[in-house]
Structure 1
Amino acid sequence: MPDNDPFAPSPSNIAGNLYADDRYMVRNRHQIRHLLQAMIDQRSPVSVHPDGREQSFPSAILEVHEQGVVLDASPQPAINRIAESASSLLCFGQVDKVIVRFQLHAHRRIDRDQHLAFRSSLPEEVHHLQRREFYRLETPVGDSPHCLLPDPAGSEPSRWRVQDISAGGIALMLPSPQGLLALQARLRDCVLQIPDAPPINTSLVVCNLRQQKLANNVEMTRAGLRFDDLPRGADTLIQRYIFRIDRLRKARANGE
Structure 2
Amino acid sequence: MEEIETDQDVQTPLQFEIEQPEEYAQYLLHAKAEVLAILRSLNQRRALISAYFDEGRTFLLTSLLAIDGDNLILELGRDDEVNRQVLAADHIVLTATVDKVKVQFTLPRLVATRYGGRPAFGAVLPDKVLRLQRREYFRLSTPVARPVKFSSSIKRPDRSVMTIEASLLDISGGGVGLMATPALAALLPRGCVLADCKMALPDEGLLVANLCVRNKYEVTTRTGSRYVRIGCEFIALPGARMSMVQRYITRVERERKARLSGMA
TM-score, normalised on structure 2?
A: 0.51
Determine if contact 1:50/1:89 at 8 Å carries over to the other structure.
yes
2:114 to 111, 115, 118: 111
3-state DSSP class of the match of 1:33? helix
How many correspondences in the alignment? Answer: 178
Does the alignment pair 1:18 with 2:20? yes
1:27 Cα offset (Å): 0.8
1:195 Cα offset (Å): 5.3
Does the alignment pair 1:48 with 2:51? yes
1:88 to 80, 85, 91: 91
Query: 1: CA distance between counterparts of 2:104 and 2:92?
Result: 11
1:8 Cα offset (Å): 7.8
3-state DSSP class of the match of 1:83? helix
Deviations along 1:129-182, one digit per CA (max 9) or x if unpaired, are 356679xxxxxxxxxxxxx964xxxxxx742569xxxx9658999xxxxxxxxx
Mark the CA change 1:43 to 1:158 in structure 2 (over 3 Å): closer, same or farther.
same
Determine if contact 2:104/2:131 at 8 Å carries over to the other structure.
yes
Q: Which residue of 2 aligns with 1:138?
A: none
Query: 1: CA distance between counterparts of 2:81 and 2:220?
Result: 27
Does the alignment pair 1:79 with 2:72? no
Residues 164-243 of structure 1 aligned to structure 2 (within 5 Å): 169=171, 192-193=179-180, 196=183, 221-222=209-210, 232=221, 237-238=228-229
4+ residue runs over 6 A deviation: 170-173, 203-206, 233-236
1:222 Cα offset (Å): 4.3
2:129 to 126, 145, 154: 126
Q: Which residue of 2 aligns with 1:36?
A: 39
Query: 1: CA distance between counterparts of 2:107 and 2:77?
Result: 16
1:237 Cα offset (Å): 2.6
Q: Which residue of 2 aligns with 1:159?
A: 152
How big is the alpha-carbon RMSD for the aligned residues of Structure 1 and Structure 2?
Answer: 4.7
3-state DSSP class of the match of 2:127? coil
| Equivalent AA in structure 2 for residue 103 of structure 1 | T
Does the alignment pair 1:58 with 2:66? no
Query: 1: CA distance between counterparts of 2:80 and 2:121?
Result: 13
3-state DSSP class of the match of 1:238? strand
Query: 2: CA distance between counterparts of 1:95 and 1:83?
Result: 24
Query: 1: CA distance between counterparts of 2:172 and 2:226?
Result: 12
1:198 Cα offset (Å): 7.6
Mark the CA change 1:14 to 1:193 in structure 2 (over 3 Å): closer, same or farther.
closer
TM-score, normalised on structure 1?
A: 0.53
Mark the CA change 1:29 to 1:222 in structure 2 (over 3 Å): closer, same or farther.
same
Q: Which residue of 1 aligns with 2:104?
A: 101
Query: 2: CA distance between counterparts of 1:149 and 1:97?
Result: 21
The sequence identity of aligned pairs, in percent, is: 16
1:126 Cα offset (Å): 0.8
Deviations along 1:87-129, one digit per CA (max 9) or x if unpaired, are 1111111222211011111321112233221111111211103
Determine if contact 2:50/2:220 at 8 Å carries over to the other structure.
no
3-state DSSP class of the match of 1:237? strand
Determine if contact 1:101/1:126 at 8 Å carries over to the other structure.
yes
Q: Which residue of 2 aligns with 1:67?
A: 70
